[in-house]
Amino acid sequence: MKNINIAFLAIFFLLTACKNEDPNKDHVRLVFDAGHLKFIGSSLNKKKETMSALYGNNQALLSLSKKKTQPEAGTKMKLVTWKYHENPQYTGGTITGELLSIETVETNAKGETSYHKDNSSTKGNTQSFDKEQRIQYMLGYQPVVMP
């Protein structure tokens, strides 16, 4: 009986010690450096399997807190969007993967607002979009309240 238990344990350890291929080995994770901008909020689009994070300066935070339709003078916001995938270390969790785009909204001292989108991937959404609509989308973010 003792030999059967030892054989069973040996087989169990051999089977569990086999190296499995990492299904996420082809994913490239890029870290976005927000610089002096602060984290404001995030969103998740399950249909497109993307996650976004909005960063901004104090004027951006003020505009979003007051729910303004036009950003304060001196506002700078960046909406960073990544493709997400399953976290190999935690079942049921997701992590950022391929960087898809960085959208930037800036308002100068005269109150003139500019919008720019950098597509970091050809796999991202290449459809045409309305710049004003994207600015309003970014202005619709609710700032995360941190203690």
Question: pLDDT, tens digit, for every residue of 16-50?
Answer: 555 555 555 555 566 778 899 999 999 989 899 99
Percent of the chain with pLDDT over 70: 73
CA distances from 115 to 13, 17, 41, 43, 121 (A): 57, 52, 19, 20, 19
Lowest mean pLDDT among 11-20, 54-63, 68-77, 123-132: 11-20
The residues, any chain, with a CB within 8 Å of residue 59's CB and separated by 6 or more, are 71, 72, 73, 74, 75, 76, 107
User: pTM (2 decimals)?
Assistant: 0.72
Instruction: Provide the pLDDT confidence category of residue 4 given band limits of 50, 70 and 90.
Output: low
DSSP structural state of residue 138: H
Mean pLDDT, rounded, for 116-131: 66
Q: What is the pLDDT of residue 129?
A: 66
The DSSP secondary-structure symbol of 29 reads -
Q: What is the mean pLDDT of residues 119-133?
A: 64
Average pLDDT of the chain, as a whole number? 80
Q: Strand, helix or coil at 30?
A: coil
Q: Is it the case that residue 128 has pLDDT exceeding 70?
A: no
* Cα angle value 38/40/45 (rounded, 5°): 130
Spatial strand order of the sheet with 94-107 comes to: 38-45, 50-56, 76-86, 94-107, 113-119
Q: Which of 81, 74, 73 is nearest to 138 (CA)?
A: 81
**Residue with the two structure tokens 């995938």:** 85
> What does residue 137 show for φ and ψ, rounded to 5 degrees?
-60, -45
